[in-house]
């Protein structure tokens, strides 16, 4: 249960981070929020930084820069969606990331698109349609950008699978994206710069630290137990987002949203179960009689 505790804590931190972005959006441009998030994430890791660690960040600088730039680009539409849409809807759309990963893996990693994957993908995208149905006419642009962000995050998952052979340690994996994302966004942030208040700086510093804590909690959770076994606890994030939305932003989740979220969760559950079943058959083949 230790892994479940770490993952539940990660979900809570994720909702807190999203709430911070939503709360400061009325004072600062989106690109400044994202830039300062990455900057404070990097600065909060400086006390743990050694010369050889930073050298490793610069060793594969082209790859790390591409990862950082891609992460920064994905965060921009995600933050725009957070500003425009209710928190529970954004959480619901984020749950669909495994569906996009399945589609992208079929094209770029040449993974087989099996019948269970097809069924889960169709059910999941039906859940997306149901969840955004009541909101799409008024907030179609925000929904579009939120889905673009989800697609980009899925693309990053595929890229990370391709980059596993780099054998980077955990600290490098935490520092590199924050450093290169901030470096990529710096000229754009300066172009649209609006000086934040002391209060906004303090809140964004908490956001930066929260990003690191989120990554740390995920690492601790998945080092304690299998990813597939912990997947059900990931959905506590929807409960946290509903509570935060109601308490801080006075937004109540709609029936459409809850039904759509249920369909997406069912789809990703089925996808995880079918993949786990396939792995168990591979690792524990049934012995044939002589």
pLDDT score for 167: 54
- Where b means 16+ CB within 10 Å and e means fewer, 17-40 reads bbbbbbebbeebebbbbbbbbbbb
pLDDT score for 227: 57
Tell which residue, 206, 205, 231, has the closest CA to residue 218. 231
Tell which residue, 11, 12, 35, 20, has the closest CA to residue 191. 35
Task: Please say whether the dihedral angle defined by the alpha carbons of residues 269, 273, 274 and 276, taken in this order, is positive or negative.
Answer: positive
Spell out the SS3 assignment of the chain: CHHHHHHHHHHHHHHHHHHHHHHHCCCCCHHHHHHHHHHHHHHHHHHHCCHHHHHHHHHCHHHHHHHHHHHHHHHHHHHHHHHHCCHHHHHHHHCCHHHHHHHHHHHHCCCCCCHHHHHHHHHHHHHHHHHHHCCHHHHHHHHHHHHHHHHHHHHHHHHHHHCHHHCCCHHHHHHHHHHHHHHHHHHHHHHCCCCCCHHHHHHHHHHHHHHHHHHHHHHHHHHHCCHHHHHHHHCHHHHHHHHHHHHHHCCCCCHHHHHHHHHHHHHHHHHHHHHHHHHHHHHCCCCCCC
For the entire predicted model, the pTM comes to 0.82
pLDDT score for 245: 92
Structure token digits, residue 252: 């109540």
- For the chain, what is the radius of gyration of the CA atoms? 20
Write phi, then psi, for 167 (nearest 5 degrees).
Answer: 55, 45
Q: List the domain boundaries for the chain.
A: 2-275
Going residue by residue through the chain, which has 290 residues, state the pLDDT in tens, using 9 for 90 and above: 677 788 889 999 999 999 999 999 888 999 999 999 999 999 998 888 776 666 666 666 777 788 888 889 999 999 999 998 899 989 888 888 877 877 777 777 677 777 877 888 888 888 888 887 755 555 678 888 998 998 888 888 777 665 555 555 667 777 888 989 999 999 999 999 999 999 999 999 999 999 999 988 887 877 766 655 666 778 888 889 999 999 999 888 888 888 888 888 888 877 777 766 765 665 555 444 43
pLDDT score for 290: 37
CA 217 to chain centre: 13
| Distance, CA of 12 to CA of 17 (rounded, Å) | 9
């Amino acid at each position: 249960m230790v892994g479940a505790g770490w993952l539940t804590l990660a979900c809570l931190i994720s909702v807190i981070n999203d709430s911070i972005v939503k709360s400061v959006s009325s004072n600062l441009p989106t690109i400044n929020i994202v830039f300062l998030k990455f900057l404070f994430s990097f600065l909060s890791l400086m006390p743990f930084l050694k010369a050889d660690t930073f050298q490793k960040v610069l060793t594969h600088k082209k790859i790390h820069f591409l990862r950082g730039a891609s992460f920064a680009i994905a965060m921009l539409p995600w933050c725009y969606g957070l500003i425009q849409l209710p928190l529970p809807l954004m959480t619901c759309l984020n749950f669909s990331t495994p569906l996009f990963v399945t589609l992208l893996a079929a094209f770029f990693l040449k993974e087989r698109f099996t019948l269970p994957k097809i069924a889960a993908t169709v059910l999941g995208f039906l859940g997306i349609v149901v969840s955004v149905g009541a909101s799409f006419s008024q907030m179609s642009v925000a929904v579009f950008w939120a889905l673009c962000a989800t697609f980009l995050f899925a693309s990053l998952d595929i890229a990370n699978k391709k980059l596993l052979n780099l054998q980077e340690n955990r600290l490098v994996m935490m520092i590199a994206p924050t450093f290169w994302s901030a470096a990529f966004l710096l000229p754009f942030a300066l172009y649209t710069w609006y000086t934040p208040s002391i209060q906004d700086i303090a809140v964004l510093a908490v956001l930066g630290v929260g990003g690191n804590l989120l990554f740390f909690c995920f690492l601790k959770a998945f080092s304690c137990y299998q990813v597939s076994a912990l997947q059900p606890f990931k959905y506590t994030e929807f409960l946290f987002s509903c509570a935060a939305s109601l308490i801080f932003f006075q937004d109540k989740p709609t029936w459409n949203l809850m039904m759509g979220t249920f369909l997406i969760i069912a789809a990703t559950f089925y996808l995880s179960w079918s993949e786990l079943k396939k792995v168990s058959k591979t690792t524990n083949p049934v012995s044939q009689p002589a």
